[in-house]
Structure 1
C-alpha cells in the first residue's frame, strides 16, 4: 500500500531557497488546504513548503471507510493498539522527503517537519526518529505515536525545538493528548513548548501567528 497519494502541493520560495517546511495534513484531508495557509499566513520568502497528500486507505476508527490517511488509526484511547507497520512505512516516506531536500542542497538543520492531527503525530514521530538534526518540529492538535520507542536510540533530535499547539475544547484529539505529548517529550527535550487556544479540532489565527513567530526565529 502506498503511503502517499497525489503529488505533494509545493509552495515555492519567492527568493533564494534556503529552508524547507514539510507539513502533513490530517485524516481525510488533502495538502492543498494547508498549502494555502503557508501561502497566506505562515509565509517566508526564502522557504519552500511541501504539503504531501496521503494515499487512500481503510481507516478502522471510521468503520473501515476509505479516506486519505498516513496510517491506520485503530482507536484514540490509551489502550488502543497502533498500526506499527503502517506508522513505520509512513515515517520512512517522510525520511525520504527530507533526504530528497538534503540531496537538493538544503541542510537538515534548515528543514522543518510539521503537521495537523494525525499528520502532526507523523511529523513528531518521524522527526524524533530521523538520523540527522532538523531545524524544528511542529505538531498542531496532535499526539505522540509509538511512545515506548521514543527516543530510544535516536539521538539526533533530542534538543530540536518543538512547537505544540492544541485546542482546549478539542473533542476528537482531547487537549489532554497534547499535554501528555508535551510531558513525554519534555523528559528528554528541554526545547518543547505547548500553547493552548479556546477552539476545537481546528486551527485559529492566534495559533498560526504563534507558529509563524516560532518558525521565524528558527528559519532566519
Structure 2
C-alpha cells in the first residue's frame, strides 16, 4: 500500500480525513501547512475536529517533464496552466496511484465506515483524488465528503464513465452511487499563481455535470492554498454540516 503519514485522533476516533499533497510537495509539508492555517479563533481544522484521524499519503518521486528533473508528484504534467496539454503523460502516474488510493480509502472505511471518510486534496492532489472518488466501489454507499483546494480536472471526460475509460483502470465495480451521494466542497483563490481560478471553476462545472452536489467558494486572496481565516471557517462549517463534532471550545 502507498506510504502515508498519519496523525491520530485526539478524542474517540469517529472520522478519517485522507489528504493528498500537491505537486513538488510531500505528506510532511502539507500536514504542517494545515496545522499552521488557522480560523478566526486561531485554530486549525486539526484543532477544531479532535475526533478526526488525519492520513497524508505520499507520492513517489517521478520524472517531471516540465521541470526536466525528478520530483515528488502524483503524475507527470507538462503545464499546470494548461493541464490538458500532453494528456498522455498523465496516464502512467494516475494509473499507478489511483488503485492504491482506492484501497487506502476502503481500508479506512472498514475502520470507521466509508460514510465517515473524507477524501481531500490540494492542487495536483485534488486532481488525483477526484479519480479516486470516481473509482470507489459499492452500491448505495458514499463518503462523508470530498474537499478540493486549488485543483483542476485531469483527464476529464463528458461523463464520469468517460473519465474512467480515459484513465483505463481495471478496478472492478466502480459505483456511480458513491460519487453522486458524496457532498463536495471546492475552493480556490483568485490570486492563485500556480493554478488559474478558471481551472477551479471548470472543475466545479465538471463535477456538477457528473451529478454531484458541489459547494463552491472563491476568495480574492490566499494564493495557492486555503484562504485564511475565512476559508478555514467555511471548510469547518461544511464538515460540521456533514456531522463532524467540533471541539467544544470552538
SS at match of 1:165: strand
Q: Is contact 1:141–1:202 with CA below 8 Å preserved after alignment?
A: yes
Distance apart, 1:102 and its partner CA: 2.6
**Which residue of 1 is the match for residue 236 of structure 2?**
212
Q: Is contact 2:83–2:154 with CA below 8 Å preserved after alignment?
A: no
**Which residue of 1 is the match for residue 121 of structure 2?**
115
**Which residue of 1 is the match for residue 167 of structure 2?**
none
Distance apart, 1:98 and its partner CA: 1.0
2:93 & 2:175 partners in 1: Cα distance?
A: 19
Distance apart, 1:100 and its partner CA: 1.8
Greater RCO, 1 or 2 (C-alpha within 8 Å, sep 6+): 2
Q: Is contact 1:164–1:194 with CA below 8 Å preserved after alignment?
A: yes
Aligned pair partner of 2:215 in 193, 209, 213: 193
Gaps of 5+ in 1: none
Aligned pair partner of 1:26 in 16, 19, 22: 22
Q: Does 1:136 align with 2:145?
A: yes
How many residue pairs match? The answer is 214
Aligned pair partner of 2:95 in 84, 88, 95: 88
Q: Deviations over 1:120-144 (max 9, x none)?
A: 1111221122114211111100001
**Which residue of 2 is the match for residue 167 of structure 1?**
189
Distance 1:190 1:67, change over 3 A: closer
**Which residue of 1 is the match for residue 171 of structure 2?**
none
Distance apart, 1:112 and its partner CA: 0.7
Distance apart, 1:54 and its partner CA: 1.3
Distance apart, 1:149 and its partner CA: 7.0
1:16 & 1:209 partners in 2: Cα distance?
A: 23
SS at match of 2:101: helix
2:212 & 2:187 partners in 1: Cα distance?
A: 17
Structure 1 segments of 4+ aligned residues over 3 angstroms from their partners: none
Distance apart, 1:38 and its partner CA: 5.0
Q: Does 1:61 align with 2:57?
A: no
Q: Report which stretch shifted further, 73-82 or 179-188.
A: 73-82
Gaps of 5+ in 2: 37-42, 162-173, 245-250
Q: Does 1:202 align with 2:208?
A: no
